[in-house]
């Protein structure tokens, strides 16, 4: 039996025992109205405390979940920006060295930990192009365009991974990215 279920059963048993005790105490004080009013105050206080505790518990849970999402978002965005900056340096340098490939391999491992399925799929296509381009000594303008196009598609998937948009928006953004890249050709 998991821990939360045990706590739930203990809370339920405590609540039922308390209810029956207070009900018995309430009816036993029929002869003294002042004591009966005190029992009602105690009951009201207990109910207020229970509701407040439940609300605070839920609020804490929501806050922890929010903090976790923010932390994951920060990690993802930093890693994705590092990848884009790295590819920019390679394209500006005009060649892919052995050390660049090793650095890219480690970026690949980091990305595989946090990226969504769509990003990993598009990233795999991007890596195939990088490997093809790396076989030659220099990056030609045509290969640079191919890398940029593939990176743009990858950036579109990264954007979806970060902001989790609807499918209609995804298709519209993908079309815009393709149009923007074709303008550079």
Residue 174 pLDDT: 63
Residues 115 and 168 reside in one and the same domain: yes
Please identify, among 64, 79, 104, the residue that sits at the C-terminal boundary of a domain. 64
Question: Is residue 7's pLDDT more than 80?
Answer: no
106 is in which domain, residue-wise?
Answer: 66-184
Chain segment 84-120, per-residue pLDDT in tens: 898 888 888 888 888 888 888 888 888 888 888 888 8
Contacts of residue 61, Cβ cutoff 8 Å, sequence gap at least 6: none
Residues 44 and 95 reside in one and the same domain: no
Residues 43 and 31 reside in one and the same domain: yes
Residues 19 and 8 reside in one and the same domain: yes
Residues 178 and 115 reside in one and the same domain: yes
Residues 91 and 163 reside in one and the same domain: yes
How many structural domains comprise the chain?
A: 2
Question: Is residue 176's pLDDT more than 80?
Answer: no
Nearest to 119 by CA among 108, 129, 130: 108
Residues 72 and 149 reside in one and the same domain: yes
Q: What is the pTM of this model?
A: 0.62
Q: CB of 115 within 8 A of CB of 126?
A: no
Select the more confidently predicted residue: 118 or 170. Answer: 118
Please identify, among 44, 64, 84, the residue that sits at the C-terminal boundary of a domain. 64
Residues 44 and 23 reside in one and the same domain: yes
Question: Is residue 61's pLDDT more than 80?
Answer: yes
Please identify, among 64, 86, 106, the residue that sits at the C-terminal boundary of a domain. 64
SS3 96: coil
Residue 184 pLDDT: 54
Residue 17 pLDDT: 81
Select the more confidently predicted residue: 133 or 175. Answer: 133
Q: CB of 93 within 8 A of CB of 101?
A: no
Using the Cα atoms of residue 57, residue 58, residue 61 and residue 67 in order, give the sign of their dihedral.
Answer: negative
Residues 137 and 105 reside in one and the same domain: yes
Residue 175 pLDDT: 65
């Amino acid at each position: 039996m998991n821990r939360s279920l045990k706590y739930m059963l203990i809370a339920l048993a405590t609540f039922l025992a308390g209810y029956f005790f207070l009900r018995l105490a309430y009816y036993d004080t029929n002869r003294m109205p002042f004591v009966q009013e005190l029992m009602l105050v105690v009951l009201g206080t207990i109910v207020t405390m229970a509701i407040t505790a439940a609300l605070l518990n839920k609020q804490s849970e929501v806050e922890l979940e929010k903090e976790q999402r923010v932390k994951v978002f920060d990690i993802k965005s930093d890693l994705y920006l590092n990848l884009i900056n790295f590819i920019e340096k390679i394209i500006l340098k005009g060649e892919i060295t052995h050390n660049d490939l090793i650095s890219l391999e480690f970026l690949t491992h980091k990305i595989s930990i946090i990226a969504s399925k769509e990003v990993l799929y598009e990233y795999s296509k991007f890596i195939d192009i990088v490997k093809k381009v790396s076989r030659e000594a220099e990056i030609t303008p045509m290969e640079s365009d191919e890398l940029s196009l593939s990176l743009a598609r990858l950036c579109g998937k990264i954007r979806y991974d970060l902001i989790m948009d609807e499918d209609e928006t995804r298709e519209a953004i993908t079309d815009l990215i393709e149009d923007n890249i074709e303008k550079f050709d």
